[in-house]
């Protein structure tokens, strides 16, 4: 039997599941925090003064709407119409701030005055440190020791913004372990602390809350594309996926538009079969990570394995439960891009369009070498972040 993808629901249900994925698999110590959030997040987000403050900050502080840019030379090269959603032009240089603005406003309304976060590439850490400075709240960011080394500029930015950066020293010392440490902090500080999760992962209601805050991306694409092309719906929306927050926001308003094809781009690392990869939809199996049931990379015995990608932001062994559902139902096409392919696509964007992309976003750009689009196709790619933080990696890779 084939699933009719047109009739499916891709939003979260009242129990916190996307199909079979999601839920809240958390220790009892976290239950009161997560339950408080679950009971309040939709209510808070629906309040007129919340909406007003959120929209105002996105406009005046983040600089939204972010442009939807027709990439002319890139389009010519690949003989299709490529639009870039310029999340790289947001304040702090990535899409991450859409969510941190939203969550800090929720945290304030819940009376929290201490903020914790995990970060991989450092973009979410910077975005969290930024909004904490904006609101005058204490900020602690957990970051894997390996990531601290490869994302030094972002570590410095967080410190300048007044955050405390705590290295995660366990496991692979990357995003997964930073997330573990943040969760432990929340267990130890259950009353005054809000945990701003940066990706569309974690126990319900996090994947849904993060997705809703990021959904401003596709909300804007709709009217912007209407201006450019006379239609709201592109033929394809494309985004890179680690945990999947920029992807969730890029897809959100198109999930139930069957004429819009969804492409999710994972990091293949050195190759999907190399043993050094982060392509969760291919290598992952259903299980539980960081409080939700989803696809994750693990041993047959259920131990979570260490992923690999040159991009710190995609170096995560799981994927958000919504994306697991999109993969399982076939609603999204999942592609895997290797380190080399991403790096070259990143450099190509520099040369053709004068834009230095984050290595994460370069993965999404690399699909044009692998997949042929029609000349009339309109393909919107989420340019989730800018490449300043990755300069050192680009310098080393290309021996610049």
Partner 1 sequence: MNRINKKLQEDKKLLSIYFTAGYPSLNDTVSIIQDLEKNGVDMIEIGLPFSDPLADGPTIQASSTQALKNGMTTQVLFEQIKDIRKTVSIPLIIMGYFNPMLQYGVEAFCKKCQEIGIDGLIIPDLPVDVYHDEYKATFEKYGLINVFLITPQTSIERINFIDSISNGFIYMVSSASVTGSQSGFGDEQTSYFKRIADMNLKNPQIIGFGISDNKTFTQATQYAKGAIIGSAFIKHITNNGIETLSTFLKEFNT
One DSSP character per residue, 214-245 reads HTHHHHHHHHHHHHHHS-S--SEEEEE-SS-H
Of 180, 199, 224, 336, which one interacts with partner 1 (CB under 8 A)?
A: 180
The verdict on whether 384 is a catalytic residue reads yes
Q: Is 336 in the site for partner 1 (CB under 8 A)?
A: no
Query: 160: exposed, middle or buried (C-beta count within 10 Å: 0-12, 13-18, 19+)?
Result: exposed
My answer on whether omega of the bond before 65 falls inside 30° of 0, hence cis, is yes
> Toward partner 1, which CB reaches closer, 128 or 298?
298
Q: Is 189 in the site for partner 1 (CB under 8 A)?
A: yes
- In whole angstroms, what separates CA 254 from the centre of its chain? 17
User: Shortest Cβ distance from residue 17 to partner 1 (Å)?
Assistant: 11
CA atoms within 13 A on the CB side of 257: 18
Tokens of 353: 């369009």
Q: Is 14 in the site for partner 1 (CB under 8 A)?
A: no
Of 32, 111, 275, 330, which one interacts with partner 1 (CB under 8 A)?
A: 32
- Segment interacting with partner 1 (CB under 8 A) among 98-106, 183-191, 231-239, 380-388: 183-191
CB 175 within 8 A of CB 100: no
Q: Is 304 in the site for partner 1 (CB under 8 A)?
A: yes
- Segment interacting with partner 1 (CB under 8 A) among 140-148, 224-232, 298-306, 352-360: 298-306
Q: Is 171 in the site for partner 1 (CB under 8 A)?
A: yes
User: Shortest Cβ distance from residue 301 to partner 1 (Å)?
Assistant: 4
Tokens of 64: 């939204």
Cα–Cα distance, 133 to 104 (Å, whole number): 11
User: Shortest Cβ distance from residue 167 to partner 1 (Å)?
Assistant: 13
CB 271 within 8 A of CB 237: no
Q: Is 29 in the site for partner 1 (CB under 8 A)?
A: yes
Tokens of 135: 């609101």
Q: Is 191 in the site for partner 1 (CB under 8 A)?
A: yes
Q: How many helices (H) and strands (E) does the chain have?
A: 16, 14
Q: How many residues bind partner 1 (CB under 8 A)?
A: 34
Q: Is 230 in the site for partner 1 (CB under 8 A)?
A: no
Tokens of 209: 């809350």
Q: Which of 85, 96, 176, 338 is catalytic?
A: 96
Site residues (vs partner 1, CB under 8 A): 23-29, 31-32, 170-171, 176, 180, 183-184, 187-191, 285-291, 298, 300-305
């Amino acid at each position: 039997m084939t699933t009719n993808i047109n009739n499916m629901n891709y939003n979260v249900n009242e129990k916190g599941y996307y199909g079979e994925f999601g839920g809240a698999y958390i220790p009892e110590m976290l239950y009161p925090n997560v339950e408080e959030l679950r009971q309040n997040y939709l209510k808070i987000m629906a309040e007129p003064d919340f909406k007003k403050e959120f929209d105002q900050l996105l406009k005046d502080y983040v600089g939204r709407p972010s442009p939807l840019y027709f990439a002319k030379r890139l389009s010519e090269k690949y003989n299709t119409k490529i639009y870039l959603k310029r999340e790289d032009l947001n304040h702090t240089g990535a899409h991450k701030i859409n969510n941190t603005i939203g969550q800090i406003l929720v945290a304030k309304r819940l009376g929290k005055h201490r903020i914790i976060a995990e970060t991989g590439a450092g973009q979410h850490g910077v975005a969290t440190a930024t909004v904490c400075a904006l609101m005058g709240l204490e900020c602690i960011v957990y970051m894997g020791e390996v990531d601290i080394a490869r994302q030094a500029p972002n570590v410095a930015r967080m410190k300048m913004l007044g955050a405390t950066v705590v290295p995660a020293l366990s496991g692979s010392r990357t995003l997964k372990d930073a997330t573990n440490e943040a969760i432990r902090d929340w267990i130890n500080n259950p009353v005054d602390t809000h945990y701003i999760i940066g990706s569309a992962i974690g126990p319900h209601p996090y994947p849904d809350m993060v997705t809703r805050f990021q959904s401003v991306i596709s909300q804007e694409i709709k009217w912007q594309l209407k201006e450019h092309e006379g239609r709201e719906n592109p033929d394809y929306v494309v985004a890179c996926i680690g945990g999947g927050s920029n992807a969730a926001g890029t897809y959100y308003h198109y999930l139930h538009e069957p004429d819009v094809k969804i492409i999710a781009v994972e990091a293949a690392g050195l190759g999907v079969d190399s043993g050094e990869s982060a392509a969760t939809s291919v290598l992952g199996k259903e299980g539980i990570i960081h409080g939700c049931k989803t696809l994750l990379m693990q041993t047959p015995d259920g131990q979570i394995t260490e992923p690999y990608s040159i991009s710190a932001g995609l170096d995560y062994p799981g994927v958000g439960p919504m994306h697991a559902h999109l993969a399982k139902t076939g609603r999204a096409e999942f592609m895997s891009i290797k380190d080399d392919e991403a790096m070259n696509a990143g450099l190509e964007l520099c040369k053709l369009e004068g834009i230095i992309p984050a290595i994460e976003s370069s993965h999404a750009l690399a699909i044009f070498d692998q997949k042929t689009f029609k000349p009339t196709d309109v393909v919107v790619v989420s340019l989730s972040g800018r490449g300043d933080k990755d300069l050192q990696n680009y310098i080393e890779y290309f021996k610049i």
